[in-house]
């Protein structure tokens, strides 16, 4: 039985074409600044986003953490959505690496509105921490791959300008927001001071993320990357995979979105699950369990049926479509799910 792995878009394996690019990459010592393939990737991705510079880092976590560290001082306060990756899945990084105080805000679909930012800025006096940073996540993982409303992002930027706040984007899946909305990568990310994006999610590279920003900021990030232990030597073999990914795997993301809708509609047709279809904007499907069954049981049964998914709460599971599952695979997954649950 073929496994149809819907746990995450991180499970993709490099294709033979990508492996070819890896095998033939010209490399050098990137800590010395000598790796031509890394240099090419950094130039190419900076260009895609209309930024001055970019930096290759081993993971999205390191990308976010370096940005927060470089842009802040210990004791500053960070405003972010309660469900965000930076706080929930990065091992308390903002506290440990940057010494930030975190204010978790409850949002609709991951969007911290301009009004919420305004309401949560503390008065400037000697008792209070300085509210200095805001982060957003686009698309938003725990909210189900939702795309942030760009008009509101621009309004938050205005509040950041008014109160001198730093605005960071966790854009691990910004590629999906771009493919689904038709807005350019540059337009989606221009309001932010710093941006981190992943090559190893929907784009299918085995590892790697990029930080984007101004040249001076990126040089500070390069130093922080060394501090974090992320300076790598002949890493052009990974950069080659990243280059292959950004050149070949962006436009096809719409297929993943079509497949996610197919899955969501199929699950909704069963009595066991209910999916808010309005949230299925990209490649993530969060299904609520409406039958009297714990998520653990469902996850175990599906795994045994060759359809691994992840638990997303006591009564929720998450499925993610990606490069290594086809529309036919998703139909097959639905058949297997339908045999177990109705
Ligand atoms: C995957 C992901 C990251 C980065 O995670 P790594 O495992 O460190 O690559 C960051 N933000 C979001 C929203 C993600 O989904």
Q: How many CB atoms neighbour CB 328 within 10 A?
A: 10
Q: Which atom of ligand 1 is nearest to the CA of 64?
A: 10
Residue from 60, 80, 207, 320 whose mutation best tests the ligand 1 pocket (most atoms within 8 A of CB)? 60
Token match 């105080």: residue? 101
Q: Which residue has the tokens 């686009």?
A: 138
Q: What is the pLDDT of residues 15-38, one digit of tens each?
A: 999 999 999 999 999 999 999 999
Probe ligand 1: pick from 8, 172, 242, max atoms within 8 Å of CB?
Answer: 172
Task: Let me know if 340 is exposed, middle or buried by CB neighbors in 10 A (0-12, 13-18, 19+).
Answer: middle
Residues 168 and 305 in one domain: no
For residue range 57-90, list pLDDT tens digits in order: 999 999 999 999 999 999 999 999 999 999 999 9
169 in the same domain as 133: yes
Last residue of a domain, one of 248, 269, 301: 248
* pLDDT interval class at 309 (50, 70, 90): very high
CA proximity to 156, closest of 107, 195, 117: 117
Contacts of 39 (CB under 8 A, 6+ apart): 33
CATH number, position 337: 3.90.1150.10
pLDDT at 342 over 90: no
pLDDT over 90 at 10, yes or no: yes
Do 281 and 139 contact (CB within 8 A), yes or no? Answer: yes
Q: Rounded to an integer, what distance in angstroms lies between the CA atom of residue 182 and that of residue 180? A: 6
334's CB contacts (< 8 A; 6+ apart) are: 262, 263, 266, 267
Q: State whether 194 and 291 are in the same domain.
A: no
Number of folded domains in the chain? 2
Distance from the alpha carbon of residue 172 to the mean position of ligand 1, in angstroms: 6
Q: Which of 193, 220, 248 is the last residue of a domain?
A: 248
> Among 248, 280, 296, where does a domain finish?
248
Range of the domain at 298: 252-341
Q: What percentage of the chain has pLDDT greater than the value 70?
A: 100
CATH number at residue 117: 3.40.640.10
146 and 273 in a common domain: no
DSSP string, 79-123: EEETT-HHHHSSTTHHHHHH--EEEEE--BTTBPPHHHHHHHPPP
Q: Which two tokens stand for residue 46?
A: 């900076």
Closest-CA residue, ligand 1 atom 6, reads 60
- Substitution candidate for ligand 1 out of 61, 195, 245 with most atoms within 8 A of CB: 61
Q: How far is the CA of 59 from the centre of ligand 1 (A)?
A: 7
**CB-based contact 56:239 (threshold 8 Å):** yes
Ligand 1 center to 141 CA (angstroms): 9
**Residue 85 alpha carbon to ligand 1 centre in Å:** 7
Q: Cα(103)–Cα(145) distance, rounded to whole angstroms?
A: 22
Q: Does residue 8 fall inside a structural domain?
A: no
State pTM to two decimals: 0.97
Q: Is residue 1 part of a domain?
A: no
Ligand 1 geometric centre to CA of 263 (Å): 23
Q: Is residue 3 part of a domain?
A: no
Same domain, yes or no: 271 and 195 = no
Q: Which residue, among 124, 132, 127, has the nearest Cα to 79 in the 3D structure?
A: 132
In a domain, 300, yes or no: yes
Is residue 277 situated within a structural domain? yes
- Ligand 1, CB cutoff 6 Å, lining residues: 59-61, 64, 85, 137, 141, 170, 172, 198, 201
Taking the centre of ligand 1 as the mean of its atom positions, its distance from the CA of residue 35, in whole angstroms, is 25
* 304 Cα to the center of ligand 1, angstroms: 27
Query: Could you identify the atom of ligand 1 that is nearest to the CA of residue 207?
Result: 9
Q: Do 294 and 204 belong to one domain?
A: no
Torsion (CA) 201, 206, 42, 49 in degrees, nearest 10: -10
The answer to the question of residue 181 being in a domain is: yes
Task: Count CB-CB contacts under 10 A for residue 115.
Answer: 12
Residue 107 pLDDT exceeds 90: yes
* Mean model confidence pLDDT for the chain: 98
Q: Pick the closest to residue 287 from 262, 321, 256, 312 (CA basis).
A: 312
Q: Do residues 135 and 226 both lie within one domain?
A: yes
266 in a domain, yes or no? Answer: yes
Mutate to test the pocket of ligand 1, among 56, 65, 109, 141 (most ligand atoms within 8 A of CB): 141
C-alpha of residue 98 to centroid of ligand 1, in Å: 18
pLDDT in tens, 221-266: 999 999 999 999 999 999 999 999 999 999 999 999 999 999 999 9
Instruction: Work out the average pLDDT over 90-110.
Output: 98
How high is the pLDDT of residue 116?
A: 98
Whether residue 77 contacts residue 132, with contact meaning beta carbons closer than 8 Å, is answered with: yes
Residues contacting residue 316 through CB under 8 Å, at least 6 positions apart: 286, 287, 288, 289, 295
Strands 194-198 and 166-171, sheet pairing: parallel
């Amino acid at each position: 039985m073929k496994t149809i792995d819907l746990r995450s878009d991180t499970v993709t394996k490099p294709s033979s074409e990508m492996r070819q690019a890896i095998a033939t990459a010209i490399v050098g010592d990137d800590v010395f600044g000598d790796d031509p393939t890394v240099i090419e990737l950094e130039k190419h991705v900076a260009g895609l986003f209309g930024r001055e510079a970019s930096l290759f880092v081993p993971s999205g976590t390191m990308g976010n953490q370096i940005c927060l560290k470089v842009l802040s001082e210990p004791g500053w306060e960070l405003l972010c959505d309660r469900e965000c990756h930076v706080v929930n899945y990065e091992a308390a990084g903002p506290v440990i690496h940057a010494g930030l105080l975190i204010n978790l805000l409850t949002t609709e679909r991951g969007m911290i509105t301009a009004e919420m930012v305004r309401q949560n800025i503390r008065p400037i006096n000697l008792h209070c921490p300085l509210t200095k940073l805001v982060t957003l996540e686009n698309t938003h993982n725990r909210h189900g791959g939702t795309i942030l409303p760009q008009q509101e992002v621009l309004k938050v930027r205005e509040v950041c300008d008014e109160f001198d706040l730093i605005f960071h984007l966790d854009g691990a899946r910004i590629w999906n927001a771009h493919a689904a909305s038709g807005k350019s990568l540059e337009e989606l990310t221009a309001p932010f001071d710093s941006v981190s994006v992943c090559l190893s999610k929907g784009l299918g590279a085995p590892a790697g993320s990029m930080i984007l920003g101004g040249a001076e900021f990126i040089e500070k990030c390069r130093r922080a990357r060394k501090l974090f232990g992320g300076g790598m030597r002949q890493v052009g073999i990974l950069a080659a995979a990243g280059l292959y990914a950004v050149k070949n795997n962006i436009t096809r993301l719409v297929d993943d979105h079509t497949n996610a809708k197919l899955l969501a509609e199929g699950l909704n047709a069963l009595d066991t699950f209910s999916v808010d279809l309005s949230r299925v904007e990209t490649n993530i499907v969060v299904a609520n369990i409406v039958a009297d069954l714990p998520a653990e049981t469902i996850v175990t049964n599906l795994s045994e049926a060759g359809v691994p998914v992840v638990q997303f709460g006591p009564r929720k599971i998450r499925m993610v479509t990606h490069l290594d599952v086809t529309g036919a695979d998703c139909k097959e997954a639905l058949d297997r799910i339908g045999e177990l649950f109705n």
